[in-house]
């Protein structure tokens, strides 16, 4: 099964969890032993100037990276060495991917959505159906909210030719986590390429503003109202339907508030803006932040928003044929995913400026990939 070992420098580009997620998933899928060295957060310390101040926090101090690696190891009965808090190097030797029930628990508010990102491509090529029990934060900072995964990521990623079911058992918020999501999916023989080039026009804007725990319902209503006001300034002719929601006590652990707003287009493209409440930040500000993020994602003329961009790269690399997506500025997360998909999977990517006339004044790009046509050996 094992081919030659792949050596990955964990300090380049995004220099964080993204490198671990992409490289271990591809290593698992392709049966390639992997060593990732120099695992450090390649991110500047927040608040300092860009004078080259690097954060010295080891990236593996984050429990969600650890639980993601352990999950991939368990999915394929692989061997994982060096995966402990504070480690700067891991080695991973994959075996055959198997289906069945797998559990990953960050034991913190570490994101269940990031656990899903690393495991989903692997279980598509498993021997039998899989059920993933993912525990941690469902609505966590620095990661997609579970609502984003269900409302935006799911309908678009299913265009590659598979289906999955995502059952939100309990929501969990920062800092305690305690959420649980169950993902069920069956394996596929191959993935189809996707072609997301035609943006269409925005036909609907909708969303949900939630409060959980001790927070008053008024906070949800205020977030929704502020977001609607902000969107109305720019988009006047569409009804904006943002539902305020009080999360049921038995389906949410801890206290939290947040909002997600989705824009849907005539060709089925989906964009989102989202924001989470923090102690001392007023509800209007949370709503406005999400609305402004959505509007920024609509201005660039792409067919995917900045958060979907990088999540599609691994699937494009594995698909059988040429995939194309149109995006706004290519994010560092996306550049990182492309780099490792080329290095490890040998997929071929071309990123070029969009030549469409209506995109001439905008920062719009086409990401094209000749996928490797990965075939499930078990089916």
Interhelix angle 112-123/63-75, rounded to 10 degrees, is: 20
**309 annotated among ligand-binding-site residues:** yes
Interhelix angle 332-345/17-30, rounded to 10 degrees, is: 30
Structure tokens belonging to residue 310: 């990088």
Structure tokens belonging to residue 34: 């992997």
Which residues, at least 6 apart from 173, have a Cβ–Cβ distance to it below 8 Å?
109, 137, 138, 139, 140, 179, 212, 213, 252, 253, 254, 255, 256, 276
Rg, the chain, Cα only: 20
Distance between CA atoms of residues 302 and 336, nearest Å: 20
**66 annotated among ligand-binding-site residues:** no
**308 annotated among ligand-binding-site residues:** yes
For the chain, the farthest-separated pair of C-alpha atoms sits apart, in whole angstroms, at: 58
Exposure b/e, 324-341, CB count within 10 A at least 16 = b: bbbbbebeebbbbbbbbb
**117 annotated among ligand-binding-site residues:** yes
**365 annotated among ligand-binding-site residues:** no
User: Is residue 133 annotated as part of the catalytic site, yes or no?
Assistant: no
Q: Say what the alpha-carbon torsion angle 232, 285, 143, 64 is, to the nearest 10 degrees.
A: -160
Distance between CA atoms of residues 66 and 291, nearest Å: 33
Residue 168's closest CA among 135, 144, 143?
135
* Set 65, 102, 300, 333: catalytic member: 333
Going by the DSSP 8-state scheme, the letter that residue 159 receives in this structure is: G
Distance between CA atoms of residues 185 and 189, nearest Å: 13
**190 annotated among ligand-binding-site residues:** no
Query: Using an 8 Å Cβ cutoff, are 73 and 140 in contact?
Result: no
Which residue positions form the known binding site for ATP? Answer: 117, 307-311
Catalytic residues: 333
């Amino acid at each position: 099964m094992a081919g030659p070992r792949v050596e990955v420098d964990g300090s380049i580009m995004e220099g964080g969890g993204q490198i671990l997620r992409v490289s271990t998933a591809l290593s698992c899928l392709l049966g390639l032993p992997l060593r990732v060295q120099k695992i450090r957060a390649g991110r500047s310390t927040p608040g300092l100037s860009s004078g080259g101040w690097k954060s010295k926090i080891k990236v593996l101090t984050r429990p969600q990276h650890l639980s993601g690696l352990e999950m991939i190891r368990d999915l394929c009965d692989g061997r994982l060495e060096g995966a402990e808090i504070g480690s700067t190097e891991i080695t991973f030797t994959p075996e055959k991917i198997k289906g069945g029930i797998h559990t990953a628990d960050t034991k913190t508010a570490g994101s269940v959505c990031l656990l899903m990102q690393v495991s989903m491509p692997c279980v598509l090529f498993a021997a039998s159906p899989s059920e993933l029990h993912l525990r941690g934060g469902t609505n966590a900072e620095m990661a997609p909210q579970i609502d984003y995964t269900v409302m935006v990521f799911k309908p678009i990623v299913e265009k590659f030719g598979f289906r999955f079911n995502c059952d939100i058992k309990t929501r969990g918020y920062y800092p305690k986590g305690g959420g649980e999501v169950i993902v069920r999916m069956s394996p596929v023989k191959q993935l189809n390429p996707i072609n997301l080039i035609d943006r269409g026009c925005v036909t609907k804007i909708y969303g949900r503003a939630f409060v959980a725990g001790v927070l008053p319902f008024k906070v949800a209503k205020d977030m929704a109202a502020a977001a609607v006001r902000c969107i109305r300034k720019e988009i006047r002719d569409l009804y904006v339907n943002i539902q305020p929601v009080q999360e049921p006590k038995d389906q949410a652990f801890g206290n939290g508030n947040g909002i997600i707003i989705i824009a849907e287009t005539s060709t089925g493209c989906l964009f989102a803006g989202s924001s989470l409440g923090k102690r001392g930040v007023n509800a209007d500000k949370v709503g406005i932040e999400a609305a402004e993020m959505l509007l920024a994602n609509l201005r660039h003329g792409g067919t995917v928003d900045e958060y979907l961009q990088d999540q599609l790269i691994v699937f494009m690399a594995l698909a059988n044929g040429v995939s194309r997506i149109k995006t706004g500025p290519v994010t560092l997360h996306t550049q990182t995913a492309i780099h490792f998909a080329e290095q490890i999977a040998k997929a071929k990517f071309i990123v070029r400026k969009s030549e469409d006339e209506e995109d001439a004044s905008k920062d719009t790009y086409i990401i094209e990939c000749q996928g490797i046509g990965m075939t499930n050996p078990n089916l």
